[in-house]
Amino acid sequence: MPDGAARLERAFTAAGRPVFMPYVMGGYPDLAASVRHARILGRHAAVIELGVPFSDPLADGPTIQAAGQRALAAGTTPDDVLGVAAELRDGPPIAVMTYYNTVLARGADAFLARAADAGVAGLIIPDLPVDEAGPVRAIAHQRGVALVALAAPTTGEERLEEIGRHAEGFVYCVAVTGVTGGEVAVDDRLTGFLARARARIRVPLAVGFGVRTPEQAVAIGRHADGVVIASELIRRIDEAPDPAAADAEVAAFGAAVDRALTASA
Amino acid sequence: MSVATRFGPYGGRFVPETVIGALDELTEAYERHRDDPGFRAELAGLLDRYVGRPTPLYRARRLEAAWGVGCLLFKREDLCHTGAHKINNALGQVLLARRMGKGRIIAETGAGQHGVATATASALLGMECCVYMGRVDMARQRLNVIRMRMLGAEVRPVDSGSATLKDATSEAIRDWVTNVGTTHYVIGSAVGPAPYPEIVAELQSVIGDEARAQSLADLGRLPGTVVACVGGGSNAIGTFRAFLPDAEVDLIGVEAGGEGLTGRHGASLALGRPGVLHGSYSYLLQDPAGQVAEAHSVSAGLDYPGVGPEHSHLRDTGRVRYMNVTDAEALDAFSRCSREEGIIPALETAHALALIAREGGALSARGPVLVCLSGRGDKDVDQAAAALGIDA
Ligand SMILES: Cc1ncc(COP(=O)(O)O)c(C=O)c1O
């Protein structure tokens, strides 16, 4: 098992309760702020998802699209974001979320070498489904980085098994049929999906897309090992009047989610 | 036979997990229906009586004289109902969607021809239809926006990125990810995740199948050269496929050279590098970090930084030569074709014509030159009039 996979699995299971996995976009609102926000959230999180801005993010709704556009307009590159990861290496394990073309452009080997150097534990590629992932997975293995698979409510039984066979670190379960930034409903469809995933996947399950409140995190946490919040954090940063207020907002929200998850255990 | 998913190293399914099930379902449905006599007969009947196929193969004698070409043949897709080849694909896919029990159709459009074709097929078959279109394209192809709305479709403007075809496609895919249970996404070119490039190529191959037979019947021989413009590449692949085994036929795809290759352009095959956009691995205009570049073309239908995966493979194998012409050359050919032949071509199509204006004399040495006249230019009159200084 790659070392990154072991670190991620431990991070999700060590607390013995569902944990918080906040999303921070590298370079948003600027590089230094993204490092600061990740450090603040690191006090309340077991794993940090670090996003790489991309020009055409197919799995993302308007909030993350706009944040990405702003980061790109400021000149943020994938390399810069791996630099952010390196600065955060003393905190919780990092899973880098990036679209496949940024990996291809650099070359999977070079990209993963750099990610491994930066101490990245896992790589999430939302447009690289399990049946296309073989070559990247092999390279990630050599570098000790876990290639994190995604599963969705529309994923059939056979594919869930296939995902389970390759799963390492954790599996990212998409909570909604849709893109990021919507609003999740914790209903039979979602809990049924998570039960199906649980039955076929050995590694921890992290659930994200559309989770906005501590209450939703708690409700989802009953059926999962980790809860991801992304667009809601970005919206709060967007709305803050200045950087200090954004830092305070991020700290308060991170603490509230963590407190709720701890209390629910 | 199972549907092709790769063309050499190109193609594949690089999409969010949420739509993988729908791609499997589409593959399965297409494999089942494409050889089903009922489906074939329904589609053939509509192509015949509704679209007006077969389209003529017309000899453009005045342009032969103007451009020094011995024999110049137009495959008249501009005479299809709705005014372009796009209807061949849209009808086939909407028929398939109905058989799959989907009630809602979505599409992206650049020039608006695919949007109009999809809105038309949806009206005919009683489906709800929503078309995504970049705000910039809505302005330059205003006529087609009105047509789609008249046909009962909803047109949703897209403001992200360059507000053109790339962004409209991304937004359509996001809609599909969200509504995948009820919705079929009718992709408008030979792009996207498998099985789309193969489905679109097969539905468009009617162009080349007819043209090849017509050439044999009319001239007693095959053309020496076949030319088509390449946006995503659907009219080109539909025209080329029938001729791929004919090694003696020179095949030429024409990309948008825009302001010229040192400026802004849409020549993915000339200057792109392989990468992933909109679900498939193919040549792509991008920066060194892998961010997708904004394309540019006077023609909304060629203003796209990617290209269909089969064209990438045909480029690498050398079976098809890919060349490009500038905006200015295309406008010149647009004007020339209108005045000499009384045919106002689409600006996309004008790119294929411009290549013949430039190279036709030399190409002619191999024998007749056949060009896919992919569409008519009614949609472009505002934009072309402004560029050419023509007043109402
Ligand atoms: C008339 C016409 N020709 C060509 C194209 C380019 O598309 P493709 O390369 O898929 O044929 C378009 C696209 O909008 C079009 O409207």
Q: Per residue of chain B (392 residues), what is the pLDDT tens digit?
A: 689 999 999 999 999 999 999 999 999 999 999 999 999 999 999 999 999 999 999 999 999 999 999 999 999 999 999 999 999 999 999 999 999 999 999 999 999 999 999 999 999 999 999 999 999 999 999 999 999 999 999 999 999 988 999 999 999 999 999 999 999 999 999 999 999 999 999 999 999 999 999 999 999 999 999 999 999 999 999 999 999 999 999 999 999 999 999 999 999 999 999 999 999 999 999 999 999 999 999 999 999 999 999 999 999 999 999 999 999 999 999 999 999 999 999 999 999 999 999 999 999 999 999 999 999 999 999 999 999 999 88
Chain A residue closest in CA terms to B171: A58
Which pLDDT belongs to residue B392? 83
Dihedral angle sign, alpha carbons of residues A96, A100, A103, A105:
negative
CA distance B251 to B248: 9
Question: How close is the Cα of B349 to the center of ligand 1, in Å?
Answer: 7
* Count of C-beta atoms within a 10 Å radius of residue A198: 17
**Which residues of A, range 84-113, sit inside 8 Å of B by Cβ?**
99-106
Which pLDDT belongs to residue B2? 86
Residue B39, classed as helix, strand or coil, is helix
Specify whether the CB–CB gap between B105 and B118 falls below 8 A. Answer: yes
Specify whether the CB–CB gap between B93 and B199 falls below 8 A. Answer: yes
Which pLDDT belongs to residue A265? 80
**B13–A58 C-beta distance less than 8 A:** no
As a three-state string, the secondary structure of A161-213 is: HHHHHHCCCCEEEECCCCCCCCCCCCCHHHHHHHHHHHHHCCCCEEEECCCCC
Query: What are the structure tokens assigned to B146, written together?
Result: 């009105």
Ligand 1 atom 16: residue of nearest CA: B113
Dihedral angle sign, alpha carbons of residues B271, B272, B274, B279:
negative
Query: How many CA within 13 A on the CB side of residue B362?
Result: 5
Between helix B113-125 and helix B142-150 the angle, nearest 10°, is 10
Token pair 């050359």 is at which residue?
B329
For the CA of B231, the closest atom of ligand 1 is 9
Give the mean pLDDT of A79-90: 98
Between helix A157-166 and helix A188-200 the angle, nearest 10°, is 50
> First and final CA of chain A: distance in angstroms?
29
Cβ–Cβ contact A148 with B under 8 A = no
Which pLDDT belongs to residue B278? 98
Residue A158 has pLDDT above 60, yes or no: yes
Residues 6+ apart with CB under 8 A from B297: B256, B258, B265, B266, B303, B327
The question of ipTM being above 0.85 is answered as yes
Within 6 Å (CB) of ligand 1, which residues are found? B 84, 86, 110-111, 113-114, 189, 229-236, 301-302, 346, 348-349, 374-375
Chain B residue closest in CA terms to A98: B290
Question: How close is the Cα of B265 to the center of ligand 1, in Å?
Answer: 16
- Cα of B35 to nearest chain A Cα, Å: 27
Cβ–Cβ contact B280 with A under 8 A = no
Which pLDDT belongs to residue A192? 98
Give the one of B20, B161, B276 whose C-beta lies nearest to A100's C-beta. B276
Edge-first strand listing for the sheet containing B225-229: B57-59, B72-76, B369-373, B225-229, B250-258, B320-326
Residue A54 has pLDDT above 70, yes or no: yes
Residue A253 has pLDDT above 80, yes or no: yes
Edge-first strand listing for the sheet containing B128-134: B154-158, B128-134, B104-109, B183-186
CA distances for B261 relative to B252, B265, B356, angstroms: 18, 6, 19
> First and final CA of chain B: distance in angstroms?
54
Give the one of B13, B24, B290 whose C-beta lies nearest to A104's C-beta. B290
Residue A2 has pLDDT above 70, yes or no: no
Is A3-259 CATH 3.20.20.70? yes
CA distance A60 to B171: 10
Question: How close is the Cα of B362 to the center of ligand 1, in Å?
Answer: 26
Best probe residue, ligand 1, of B147, B191, B229 (max atoms within 8 Å of C-beta): B229
Residue A109 has pLDDT above 90, yes or no: yes
DSSP designation for A17: S
Cβ–Cβ contact B290 with A under 8 A = yes
Name the residues of A annotated as catalytic. Answer: 49, 60
Mean pLDDT in chain A? Answer: 97
Residue A53 has pLDDT above 90, yes or no: yes
Domain spans, chain A: 3-259
Question: How close is the Cα of B336 to the center of ligand 1, in Å?
Answer: 20
B187 chain-A contacts, CB cut-off 8 A: none
Q: Could you tell me whether strands B273-277 and B279-284 are parallel, antiparallel, or unpaired per DSSP bridges?
A: antiparallel
Q: Could you tell me whether strands B225-229 and B369-373 are parallel, antiparallel, or unpaired per DSSP bridges?
A: parallel
Nearest to A197 by CA among B200, B17, B199, B382: B17
